[in-house]
Amino acid sequence: MKLPTTHPLLTAAQSHPLALALITGGTTLNYPELLNKALGIRQSLFERGLKADQVVVLDNLPPEAMIVALWACSLGRFIAFPLNTRFPASTLKATLSNLNPAMIISDRGLIPSLAVTFNELTESSQGPDARNAVNFNLDEAATLLMTSGSSGTSKIVVHSHGNHIANALGSNLNIPISANDRWLISLPLYHVGGLSILYRTTLTGATVVIPDPQTSLLESITKYQISHISLVATQLQELLEEPKAHKSLQKLKAILLGGSAIPKSLLKRALQLELPIHISYGSTEMASQITTTQASDRSTDLNNSGTLLAGRDLIISAGGEILVRGQTLALGYQDGLQRTDLRDAMGWFHTGDIGYLEVQGKLTVTGRLDNQFISGGENIQPEQIETILTSITGISQALVLAQQDEKFGMRPVAYIQTNELNLKVGELVTELKKSLPGYMIPVAFFQMPAELLQDRMKLSRKELMKFMLSGNNHLHALA
């Protein structure tokens, strides 16, 4: 897949001079205005002595400032590092002390000696300097992104400009978007799922919309005339609980759904409502989407993650692991001041996910290698049990953990999120036995700990395991 050799924001400003680039709160910016703001911040960074390939940390910035700063770094050949502000400050400080960034754009001053506020950069800017031409190299590092850490210790992934652009181009070939469209970002910009939207829209002259946090998703979809939206399963579930949201969702051109295994009951409901759903499988290392379903799949089957997008390669190893490579694969991991490769000798990245490809090339992801455990000599993949549980009416989320057992070594225990007060264990067991062998039936069922669900779109396996090991839990067992 051929990539553009001119910076995408420069191209958008020239090709779509009247198109809105950004709507956030009460602010609107067209592409030339966004470009000028970004070039102004770039100039301020130059004036403070920053040089190409130095790391600029973007901390707790409001959306408009974050987007301007991201493009300023890209135009100046600085490496932007938007921080995942859900991590504790102590963790972020330790990460930054090992990384040795050149500057932190922040209002809270994680490392005061390096901190500058966005307003200070804006006020000191003399505007774009024509003498500083925009030099653009697809192979140079563009961003650092922290992985979620849900399957282990968080890593810092290094992406090039080309990685982000290739991912966006492949996505746009599958989910068309034009200068007349608006993509709502409800995912954080420190997450690859949010950041990738900036590239998809800029490459086509479309508009990014970031609503006020006090405004509901439904209100934002209607108010801003949204055409495209990216969601995780929990967000869609909440929307579908509002009957008045159904017509608004049906009017959208595309709903990109990813982030984790998606409950079958949710997909069934989406199909019944004829929503423009696209299911995606992706990773931070591959700059977002790897496979995604096509519009033609909606009327028949959404139980897989679709086919491979342009710019990517994928194979299944002899052990069932999903291996990927291609134009979207990151440059490596940043470990302090060192950059380590993430490829094997053949150039493949080992995702740690397991799955299989159908004859038509559609990918089904069945779980993660590191979640698998053995019970009485049998391999158990927790995700397989979770998929069946979330197909049961009333269960919106399920996680299965291994519990020590003297006879079998390990046995599965299920934790479910449900609003069905009368849900009985016997009914769950009966339903599970229709699809699973006896050794995969959980020996106990508990309500998901309420204290872990507060302010979270989805509970991770790692968080639940940590909570269970703390000993400070009071679980409600289903009868």
Q: Which CATH architecture has domain 372-470?
A: 2-Layer Sandwich (3.30)
Res 138: pLDDT? 97
> What band does 164 get if pLDDT is binned at 50, 70 and 90?
very high
The torsion angles phi and psi of 356, rounded to 5 degrees, stand at -150, 155
Q: Which of 31-35, 276-280, 305-309, 420-424 has the lowest mean pLDDT?
A: 420-424
CATH number corresponding to 8-365: 3.40.50.12780
Residues 324-353, mean pLDDT to the nearest whole number: 96
Same-fold call for 8-365 versus 372-470: no
Q: Which of 54-68, 144-158, 279-293 has the lowest mean pLDDT?
A: 144-158
Residue 253 CB coordination number (10 Å): 17
Sheet holding 20-24, edge to edge: 27-30, 20-24, 207-210, 182-184, 228-232, 254-258, 277-283, 288-292, 307-308
- Which residue ranges make up each domain of the chain? 8-365, 372-470
Average pLDDT value over all residues in the chain: 89
Query: Who wins on pLDDT, 61 or 359?
Result: 61
Please determine, for residue 151, whether its predicted confidence score (pLDDT) is greater than 60: no
Please determine, for residue 35, whether its predicted confidence score (pLDDT) is greater than 60: yes
Instruction: List all residues 6 or more positions away from 436 whose beta carbon is below 8 Å from its beta carbon.
Output: 384, 385, 388
Residues 377, 210: Cα–Cα separation, whole Å: 50
CB distance 344 to 350 below 8 Å: yes
Residues 113, 70: Cα–Cα separation, whole Å: 21
Res 40: pLDDT? 94
Res 130: pLDDT? 54
Query: Who wins on pLDDT, 469 or 295?
Result: 295
pLDDT digits (tens, 9 = 90+) for 166-208: 999 999 999 999 999 999 998 899 999 999 999 999 999 999 9
Residues 262, 364: Cα–Cα separation, whole Å: 12
Res 129: pLDDT? 64
